[in-house]
Amino acid sequence: MALLQLLRSIVFTGCFFLSTTVYALIILLFGWALPYSGRWAIARNWSVVNLWLLKVLCKLSYVVEGREHLPQGHHVSMWKHASTWETIAQASILPAQAWVLKRELLWIPIVGWALRLMQPIAINRSAGSAAVKQVISQGKARLSDGRWVVIFPEGTRTAVGEQRKYGISGALLAIEAGTIIIPVAHTAGYFWPRRGWLKRPGIIKVVIGRPIQTTGRDAREVTAEIQTWIETTIASRVN
């Protein structure tokens, strides 16, 4: 059974890379003539298709708790980063969004070029305070354009059972923009580890937290609250 699941995982990985390239080509060919809503529709369809492939090929699906916590408007959302899965799923779970990501992703031929047309906030992770300022300035612009801003506060994928210090750029952005933060916890790391080919069958649990108010608060205090909630929630959803 383990060998069969590994083979299923390898097939999915091949389909994932192929579909990502195809969708990137579609965005490159047509995205320049489309408004952002059109480009977003293509990106969201990419997400839906790959989550469906994951369910069919690897028997790995997901459920979402707390959709009622998603408010109207556009806000900052901070996610646990433990897998590749959440980079796919966020486009299916939240409305139109801008992603904070490492700038090196934009250098990938075809896929990176298409990603650039999605207007992410591409930062140099070694730039320190300059990267934080970029998240704030460009994040405020994306929010003004009517998009959510999605941030992985750990900065990189973290293995199950490990915790990395959460960055404060998301909290600073929300405070300066006068918006709330929606935290999102999930158990994807238990099924699709950050390294390795195997995707284990099961159901990933995604929990959308209650909105966290940021007005008049300290960014480090807000970030600590989010980290505690995300890590505690994940632990409580693991069978």
Instruction: Write out pLDDT tens, residues 21-47.
Output: 999 999 999 998 999 999 999 999 999
Of 95, 7, 87, 100, nearest to 50 by C-alpha is: 87
Sheet of 60-65, strands arranged across: 60-65, 202-208, 181-186, 76-79, 148-151, 97-102, 121-123
What is the pTM (predicted TM-score) of this model? 0.94
Q: What is the pLDDT of residue 98?
A: 97
Amino acid at 175: I
Q: What is the pLDDT of residue 46?
A: 98
Is it the case that residue 20 has pLDDT exceeding 70? yes
Here the tokens at position 215 are 């007005």
Give CA–CA dist 199/190, Å, rounded: 9
Q: What is the pLDDT of residue 239?
A: 66
Is it the case that residue 160 has pLDDT exceeding 90? no
Give CA–CA dist 161/171, Å, rounded: 24
Q: Which CATH number fits domain 2-237: 3.40.1130, 3.90.640, 3.40.50, 3.30.420?
A: 3.40.1130
